Amino acid sequence: MRQDLIPLSASALVVGAMCLVLGSALSPIDGGGTADTIRAVQEQGGRWLAMAVMYFCASVALTLGLPALLSVFVDRGRRLGALAVAVFSVGVLGTTGFAMLLVFYRALVESASISESSLDRAIGDLGLSVFLNGWVGSFYLGVLLLGIALLVARRTPRWSSLLLFAFVLGLPLGSALGKVGSVVQVMLLAVSFTAIAIAAVQQSQEKVVTSPARSHAY
């Protein structure tokens, strides 16, 4: 990728992470079962739709930010970094499908086309379970691999990798964290991605400065 486009990609990375934070904060669900989920959509349909829009925007922005992620892996951890970005990209693209699923679910609830019992049966569908688990698994595995690759690459502050690890550790604690805990969990990801974006921009600026110097030397 052209070095002058890295700052744009880095900005998209930060925007995507913040959209994830906003999407998590907008969620009207705070625990409960299927009946509570249906009630939340009925009472706060606009907020539910805004959450879906934020997740869609996050998917688009994070996809545009993948080149900035990849750019920090130059010498050390290059292969591991490429693998991490590839796995993470699957989770990022899956976020778009999840956003569309949220919109479709709202339409079903608003048209009274779904009930608590039918929702329970739909959640138990094998195809849906494979899609959701594959999406979540790819996202979290990609973040975990990114944290390891960044430690190997040594291009970003060490604490940025630690924040990614903390984000992944929040997965098994999701039900116990509650809504506030979930927002804080995603904030860890956003802060880490901001540090990565800054490192990517600084690295691209260094390459732009040194390239003319090398050409004049020859």
* pLDDT at site 85: 94
Q: Are 201 and 6 in contact (CB under 8 A)?
A: yes
Q: For residues 65 and 67, give the distance between their C-alpha atoms in angstroms, rounded to a whole number.
A: 6
Q: For residues 21 and 207, give the distance between their C-alpha atoms in angstroms, rounded to a whole number.
A: 32
* pLDDT at site 111: 82
* pLDDT at site 119: 74
Which regions in the chain score pLDDT beneath 50?
A: 213-218
Q: Are 87 and 145 in contact (CB under 8 A)?
A: yes
Half-sphere exposure at residue 114, Cβ-oriented, CA atoms within 13 angstroms: 21
* pLDDT at site 1: 57
* pLDDT at site 37: 79
Residue 165 dihedral angles phi and psi, to the nearest 5°: -65, -40
* pLDDT at site 46: 87
